[in-house]
């Protein structure tokens, strides 16, 4: 409760002036860095190489475009990967910008979901062939169920032990009402499983909240008159602070909404509780949260002269939104698309779509 009170006081002080919500950019410097900033490092390692086995031999596995990553909540050395195998998203994939050309491209015949041992690179399990059309988002809930989005199908799926147990949205039907999506990008669930949040998406500028059975509760979007979300691309929950935060990709910012009051169906200023941005973060593709050390991780894409970078922000109540560090691989990022943090907070993984690889990092302190 003490952290929550401090956060609310901080937000009330820095985010509201004359009744209007606003945000500041937080840039750390050597003159005001504390001990956490000085000793904290993210160290790039070699990209993760995956090894597949058959009856006769072992061989390196060739990834497709890596659209989604999720770390196991039970094993710090286990990673789930959602990739596009032989499928590539190009100008012909969505001829009208919304509808996937399923007649031309069809379903992906190869396995699209991998479970990997991050210490050895060994593929433990793989499945998802003849199931997906354009894979995108992936998350894991507290029971290690997989949640996936397919932007071609305009749908969200929950899988338990490889079996589909819940579907949201109508197959290949785009929409913006309470039962349809338009190219949904990501999905996350509350720790108790009672709430589902969907980032929707490439066509819609909103977050949609459902109960555990898929019943619509409400949606979040920017207040009227404010810059709307432009491709909400990645989503997390910070339950301690009652925040649901989204990577607002093309605006280059992270927007955090108040997820407490389900009775309030209006899109007013009370919904937006914090906005984090930085001059180097021209776009932001993915975010993840370390609840133990109160850190928010983000990765940007290339934009003009700005190269893609990883960012670590503080979400301590007294320094919410302050930049702690930037980081990148030794040979720079190509086109990062998603990131995930191991359950022990010691390893970061970034999935890229060009080149098709998974970057690996050690988190020190």
Reply yes or no on whether the pLDDT at 9 is more than 70.
no
Flag whether 233 is marked binding: yes
Flag whether 180 is marked binding: no
Flag whether 69 is marked binding: yes
Tell me the DSSP string of 210-248: EETT--EEEEE-PPTTSPPPS-EEEEEEEGGGTEEEEEE
Flag whether 84 is marked binding: yes
Closest CA to 296 of 352, 234, 353, 354: 234
Query: Reduced to 3 states, what is the DSSP secondary structure of residue 347?
Result: strand
Reply yes or no on whether the pLDDT at 124 is more than 50.
yes
Domain ranges of the chain: 2-364
* Confidence label for 112 from pLDDT (cuts 50, 70 and 90): very high
Flag whether 330 is marked binding: no
Flag whether 249 is marked binding: yes
Tell me the DSSP string of 113-128: EEEEETTT-BEEEEE-
| Higher-pLDDT residue of 208, 29 | 208
Question: How much is the average pLDDT of 267-286?
Answer: 88
**Distance (Å, whole) CA 83 – CA 114:** 8
Pick the CATH number of 2-364 from 3.90.1300.10, 2.120.10.30, 3.40.50.620, 3.10.310.30: 2.120.10.30
Q: With beta carbons less than 8 A apart as the criterion, state whether 107 and 131 touch.
A: yes
* Confidence label for 304 from pLDDT (cuts 50, 70 and 90): confident
Q: With beta carbons less than 8 A apart as the criterion, state whether 33 and 40 touch.
A: no
**Distance (Å, whole) CA 47 – CA 174:** 36
Q: Kindly list the distances between the CA atom of residue 103 and the CA atoms of 94, 172, 215, 251, 332, in Å, as whole numbers in the listed order.
A: 12, 12, 31, 34, 37
Mark out the alpha helices in 15-147 (DSSP H runs): 35-39, 102-105
Question: How much is the average pLDDT of 334-339?
Answer: 98
pLDDT tens, position by position, 197-234: 999 999 999 999 999 999 999 999 999 999 999 999 99
Tell me the DSSP string of 272-339: EEEEEE-TT-S---EEEEETTTTEEEEE---BTTBPP-EEEEE--GGGTT-EEEEE--TT--SSEEEE
Q: With beta carbons less than 8 A apart as the criterion, state whether 269 and 21 touch.
A: yes
| Higher-pLDDT residue of 300, 268 | 300
Reply yes or no on whether the pLDDT at 16 is more than 60.
no
Q: How many residues does the chain have?
A: 365
- The region of weakest confidence among 30-34, 37-41, 62-66, 93-97 is 30-34
């Amino acid at each position: 409760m003490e952290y929550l009170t401090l956060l609310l006081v901080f937000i009330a002080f820095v985010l509201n002036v004359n009744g209007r919500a606003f945000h500041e950019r937080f840039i750390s410097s050597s003159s005001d860095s504390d001990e956490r900033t000085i000793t904290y490092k993210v160290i790039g390692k070699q990209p993760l190489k995956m090894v597949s086995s058959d009856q006769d031999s072992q061989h390196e596995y060739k990834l497709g475009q890596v659209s989604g990553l999720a770390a196991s909540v039970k094993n710090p050395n286990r990673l789930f990967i959602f990739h596009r195998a032989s499928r590539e998203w190009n100008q012909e994939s969505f001829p009208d910008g919304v509808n996937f050309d399923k007649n031309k491209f069809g379903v992906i015949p190869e396995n699209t979901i991998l479970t990997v041992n991050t210490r050895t690179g060994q593929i433990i399990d793989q499945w998802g062939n003849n199931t997906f059309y354009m894979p995108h988002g992936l998350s894991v809930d507290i029971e290690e169920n997989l949640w996936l989005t397919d932007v071609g199908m305009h749908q969200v799926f929950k899988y338990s032990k490889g079996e589909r147990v819940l579907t949201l949205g109508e197959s290949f039907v785009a929409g913006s009402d309470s039962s349809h999506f338009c190219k949904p990008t990501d999905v996350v669930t509350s720790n108790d499983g009672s709430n589902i949040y969907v980032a929707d998406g490439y066509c819609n500028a909103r977050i949609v909240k459902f109960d555990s059975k898929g019943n619509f509760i409400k949606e979040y979007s920017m207040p009227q008159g404010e810059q709307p979300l432009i491709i909400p691309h990645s989503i997390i929950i910070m339950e301690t602070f009652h925040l649901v935060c989204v990577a607002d990709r093309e605006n280059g910012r992270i927007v955090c909404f108040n997820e407490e009051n389900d009775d309030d169906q209006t899109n007013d200023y009370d919904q937006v509780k914090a906005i984090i941005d930085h001059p180097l973060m021209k776009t932001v593709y993915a975010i993840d949260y370390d609840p133990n050390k109160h850190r928010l991780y983000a990765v940007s894409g290339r934009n003009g002269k700005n190269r893609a970078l990883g960012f670590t922000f503080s979400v301590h109540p007294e320094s919410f939104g302050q930049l702690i560090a930037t980081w990148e691989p030794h040979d720079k990022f190509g086109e990062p698309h998603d990131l995930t943090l191991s359950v022990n907070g010691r390893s970061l993984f970034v999935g890229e779509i060009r080149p098709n690889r998974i970057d690996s990092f050690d988190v020190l302190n």
